[in-house]
Each structure stands twice: as structure tokens, then as C-alpha cells.
Amino acid sequence: MASIRSALYSLLLLAASSSATDLSSAQAFAAAEQAASAPDAGRQGGADLSSLLQKPSLGTSPEAVADSAEVASEPFLVGLRRESVPVYRRGKVASFKTSYPGVLHVGSPPQEFRVVFDTGSGHLVLPAEECKSEACLVEGRRRFNMSGSSTAAPINADGSIVPEGDPAEQVTIGFGTGEITGEFTRDTVCFGAPHSDDVAALAAPQDDSTAVVPAGDAASSKDTELCVEMSVILAVEMSTQPFKTFRFDGILGLGLDGLALNKNFSAFEMLLGTGLPAAHFGVFLTEGEDGEESEIAMGGIDSKRILEPLSWAPVAMPEMGYWQVQIVAVRINGQELDVCKDGTCRGVVDTGTSHLGVPAPADSEVAQLLTTDAGDMLDCRLADAPEIEIELVGYNLTLHPFNYMRRLPLREGVSVSSAQGVYVPSNETNATLGSPSSADPVGQAAQAQAPAVPAAPADGQAIGQVQQETAAAAEPQAPASEQPAAEVAAAQAQAPAPVAEVEEAPKRFCRPRLMPVRLPEPLGPKLFILGEPVLHRYYTVYDWANNRVGFSLANNRRNTMDPSEIVDRRGALPKEVDVLLMQKTVTVTKDGKANRIGSGRGGAKELQEESMLVQVKLRLSVRQRRRA
């Protein structure tokens, strides 16, 4: 994941499409960052945490529309499939990064792409044919060929056509993890079922390393296609992290207008002109273990997916563009935490973040309250652990271990998360970097090993990430073909002959899927990110017309099963994992010095589990147009 290298993020919006409110929010962020001395960003690396939460770019009366969102209509359904990428520690699978892409087509003739439908960012971003970044050249990644589309036109940010030979405007968008730089085009974008041969490809068995759970048909409604002319950002540069590690091609931002350059780039704003039955969309996400399929309902809700009437929470500060709601209180096992007692907590509901983001340094306290000894457990979602209650205005969200726990237990001293988390530099956020983190390994082994890896990637940048970490520091055995044989052989050749072996029973812990959030005002400092742990339990509806978010218990297997059916409290390994790494600690001595061989926090290039696609930066510039 690309580092946040500057303490100053600027936002330039064209006068024709900007407002004083837009600029005030961006200026507040810029002021906070300008005052800060950004700490060294060297401790970056690949976390399983990823977030498409967009950095801020800087609204209709709730009474203007009745509660029609609960009335059954004919929404356009787009199927989403769950994809996961293994996260390794010492050559062993330790966790998974997950995403939920769907299919869309761009141009004439249509070019097909898999994109993440992300409520934490504000633009449609696709890799350009001209992009030569490592992330763009990943095998199987589709790039948009503008010259291959008869309906594509290069444009500036204000929608004007770029004359041949003139320099083109470019935009840089920073996400919770990573960033892209792109140019603009206008073309036809269609949502709908992939071609028949592509459906067969999606349903075909996948390699275990991708751990893809297909979502079935990519669309199901009266119409098979929903098309709209839209402004698109074509990425000519993409950061290696997190984009290289994912199988999806691009991002479709579904944030409010405040996150977009202007309304011409706002995806849902454009879709409203196609005759959708209602100005809202609903999201159903599932892990797919019981044959359930994830989906997004454009222009309505899928009434089959909810168990109760929707409860609505107003969007706080809608001018910023995030689907954020006021949080009244947070409780663990009924005990209220201090973090929200001053009334300033808010939560961004983000379909692009895999974890539950908790403002630092409170994340460490929450992690300690939820961590439990794993014993011989193989599936930590079955653990007997506390309940989390997040009180909103008029509705309570309750999360059980099955919702918030990493699936695989973590061994003592192992971390697969980002210690830095979702981070924008400021005096206030910098002050929290030295605090204990929810990403810190559990146990004395962690304390002994942490100083040896000062550049640990567990500081992966982030701000809103929604891809799922089925963390497993219990470290399942990776396929033999993926073992770093050369590195292992070299290490063994250099290692001294063992003088003594001390075997100890490994300690294993069940850890929650948390990540620290470090954001300055106005979005922070007490901002939660409500990612997959919330979205796997609740069906969520995003009401564009009334600036509010609806919640209902999702009609999924886990929410409807009788608790008495759960008789197995040990669980089983996921199919991607054949054997848990149960090797005991080996201590090698030479010249009186002991070298402990085991799994630590990893080197600077290790992948981390969190996904944060929340948009946190937008910068406009002008450069000479690139050519393939």
C-alpha cells in the first residue's frame, strides 16, 4: 500500500462545480495536515487491511420524500462475488484479504471490468491501457482501451472536450490504503449480467489461492442491462499496494456528491437519470458459506434480504460526502466505553472496508476486551466472546463473535494487521502513533520480537477499508508450490547447528477484526468505520434523496438459525487451508546467544489483511497527455 508521503493534501475543484461548503471541508483537512510534521513513513507494507475510503475532496430535506424505501419496487440487482487473497507469514497462510466486485461494461463495443461497489469513495476508476504501473500489469487485470471505444471522449474535469495535442488534466485520489493518478474520459457505462461465456468462467472452480466464492448471476431484474453516460477516471498510475494483490479491476464509488470532483463524476447521481424507481440502493454482503449470494440493489431494496422494517439514521455532515452516522455510545458486554461519552463519535458505513475501524487509541482497549484464548479452536467465529453494541440515533447495532472475529486463530507474537491503520497526518493523529494498537501481537513473544522489526509493514496506511481479513496467525500451511524454498534453504545453510531444542506448546488467540483510525478534524478524530463486520449482519440502504442510512437485520443463515443448532464449538478450517501450522518454537544457540525461530510481525514487504478503500485525498493537476 502506498504511503501517505505528504502532510499536505490539497483539493482543487473547478469554480463551475464547486461551492463554499465544498472548499471549507477540504481546507480544514489541509490546515490540520499543514500544521503537522508527518512522521517517517518507512514503516509501511502490505497489510491485509485495505480500504477504498476516499480522502475528503470537498444535500434534500428528509420530509421531501416519504419512507418509500420500504415499499417493494423493482430494483436493478447486480450480483457481487466474494474474492479473497491469502496473506502469508513466513510462507504460511495467516489470513485473507477480501473484496466484493461486480461486473460492468464500458464503451462501444463494450469492455468488461470487475469493480468494487464502494460507498467510501466518489468516482468510477478503471486502469488505463497506458498504465505501466506494476499493479496495472498484473496478469488478468483488464485495462480500458479508449481508442478501442467509438463512444469514448477525453475530457477535462469540467466535462469539456480536450482538444487534440492539448495537455490533459489529471487527478490524484488517495484511499485508506494506496492511491491512483488518472485522466478523464466520458463513455457509456452499463451494469448487467456478463456474457454467457463469462458466467461460465465465474462459476468455474477457482484455484485455492484466490479463494473465490461465486455470487451466481451478475444481475437479475426485468431488464438485463442498465446503461448511462458517465465521466470515468482512467488510472495511468496505481500504487502497488493494495491494488496489485486484488483480482478486481477498478472501483465504483457510491459516496455522496461531496466526495466527487463534481456531479458529472458521481456514479449514483448519473444513474438517477436512467429512471431508477427510487433514489437509493441496498447492499447485501455475505461470506457465501451457505450458498448465499451477495448483491447490490440499484434503485430500491431486495425485500427478500431483510428480516425487519428498516430503521433510519440521518447522515452526519453530508457535505463531506461520506455515508456517516452519529454514534451515541459503544458497549462491550453491556459496559459503555469512555470513547463516545463526549458525544462526538461518528461512523462511516463503508462497503470497501474489511474491518471494524475504531478511533485510536481506543482500538487497543476494544481489542483487549474482545481477545480470548483459542485453545484447540479452529474457527474463532464460534468463540464464547463478548457482544459489541453500537448505539445509533434510534437504532442499536449488535455484533456477535461470528461477525467480528477473525476466522483463524493467531499465534502468540504474530500480527497480520496495520498498526498505523487509517491515517492522515496531523498534530493530533501523530500523537497517537506511539500508543498501543489493536494490531499489536498478543503475548510476551510479541514484545521480544517487535524491536527487531522497526519497519514492520503493520503500519499500512488506511482510511476506511472494507475487505475481509479472515486472520489466522495460527498460520495454516501454504501450498508447497508457494513456499519460499530458496529463502528457506539459504536460511538453513547459514543457521548454526542446533545445540538444543526447546519445545513449547504454542499459545493461540482469537482476535477481533479491528483497525485503528487516525483522522484529524473535521472527519475525525473519533471516527469509526463500519465495514464488513457490520455489513455481514445488517442489510444497509443508502438514501440519496434524504441523506440517511437504513439498517435491517439481514436475512441470512447466521441471523435466522436456531442457536441450539450450533453444537460444534471447535469448528473446521476453510477449504483454502489444509493444515494449521502447529510447529513448536525452536531455539538455536551459538556462542551463548539464542536466536528464536518463529513467526513475528514480518518484514517490510509482507501483506497485511485489512482492506481500506475509503477515499481520503483528491488533487487536480494538468500534465501533457500520456500515450500508449
Q: How confident is the model at residue 225 (pLDDT cuts 50, 70, 90)?
A: confident
Mean pLDDT, range 335-347, rounded to an integer: 97
Distances (CA, A) of 423 to 55, 119, 300: 10, 19, 34
- How many other CB atoms are found less than 10 A from the CB of residue 42? 11
- The strand ranges marked E within 468-555 are 508-510, 514-518, 527-530, 538-543, 548-553
Answer whether residue 440 is part of any domain.
no
For residue 416, give the nearest of 608, 580, 600, 610 by alpha carbon.
Answer: 608
Q: Residue 137 has what pLDDT?
A: 95
Of the listed ranges 30-39, 71-80, 533-542, 546-555, the one predicted with least confidence:
30-39
Q: Residue 540 has what pLDDT?
A: 98
pLDDT digits (tens, 9 = 90+) for 59-107: 333 333 334 334 445 899 999 999 887 777 767 777 777 889 999 999 9
**Using the 8-state DSSP alphabet, how is residue 522 labeled?**
T
Answer whether residue 604 is part of any domain.
yes
- How many other CB atoms are found less than 10 A from the CB of residue 446? 16
| HSE of 63, CA atoms in CB hemisphere, 13 A | 0
Dist CA 472 CA 493 (whole Å): 29
Stated as kind and residue range, the H or E segment containing 21 is: helix 20-34
Of the listed ranges 84-93, 241-250, 400-409, the one predicted with least confidence:
84-93
Q: Residue 589 has what pLDDT?
A: 39
Mean pLDDT, range 276-280, rounded to an integer: 90
Radius of gyration of the chain (CA): 23
pLDDT digits (tens, 9 = 90+) for 210-220: 332 222 333 33
Answer whether residue 144 is part of any domain.
yes
Q: Residue 297 has what pLDDT?
A: 95
**pTM > 0.85:** no
Q: How confident is the model at residue 580 (pLDDT cuts 50, 70, 90)?
A: very low
For residues 407, 415, 346, 310, the Cα torsion angle rounded to the nearest 10 degrees is -10
Q: Does position 222 have pLDDT exceeding 80, yes or no?
A: no
Mean pLDDT, range 380-403, rounded to an integer: 95
Answer whether residue 141 is part of any domain.
yes
pLDDT digits (tens, 9 = 90+) for 139-191: 999 999 999 999 999 999 999 999 988 888 999 998 877 889 999 999 999 98
Q: Does position 343 have pLDDT exceeding 90, yes or no?
A: yes
- Of residues 264 and 9, the one with the higher pLDDT is 264
Q: Does position 421 have pLDDT exceeding 80, yes or no?
A: yes
pLDDT digits (tens, 9 = 90+) for 463-494: 333 333 333 333 443 343 333 444 444 444 44
Dist CA 174 CA 188 (whole Å): 25
Answer whether residue 139 is part of any domain.
yes
Q: Does position 535 have pLDDT exceeding 60, yes or no?
A: yes
178 Cβ partners below 8 Å, 6+ apart?
1, 2, 50, 238, 239, 240, 241, 242, 243, 461
Dist CA 172 CA 206 (whole Å): 34
Domain CATH for 239: 2.40.70.10
Q: Residue 548 has what pLDDT?
A: 97
Dist CA 317 CA 258 (whole Å): 10
Of the listed ranges 54-63, 104-113, 399-408, 507-516, the one predicted with least confidence:
54-63
Q: Does position 348 have pLDDT exceeding 50, yes or no?
A: yes
Stated as kind and residue range, the H or E segment containing 270 is: helix 267-271
Sign of CA dihedral 575, 577, 578, 579: negative
What domain count does the chain have? 1
Dist CA 541 CA 449 (whole Å): 45
Residue 510: what residue type?
Answer: C
Domain hosting 271: range is 15-43+75-428+461-480+500-623
Distances (CA, A) of 217 to 194, 204, 294, 304: 8, 13, 10, 16
Answer whether residue 6 is part of any domain.
no
∠ Cα 205 513 564 (to 5°) = 75
Residue by residue, DSSP assigns 151-192 as: T-EEE-TTS-B--TTSPEEEEEEEESS-EEEEEEEEEEEEEE
Answer whether residue 217 is part of any domain.
yes
Q: Are the C-beta atoms of 253 and 233 separated by less than 8 Å?
A: no
Dist CA 378 CA 155 (whole Å): 53
Answer whether residue 67 is part of any domain.
no
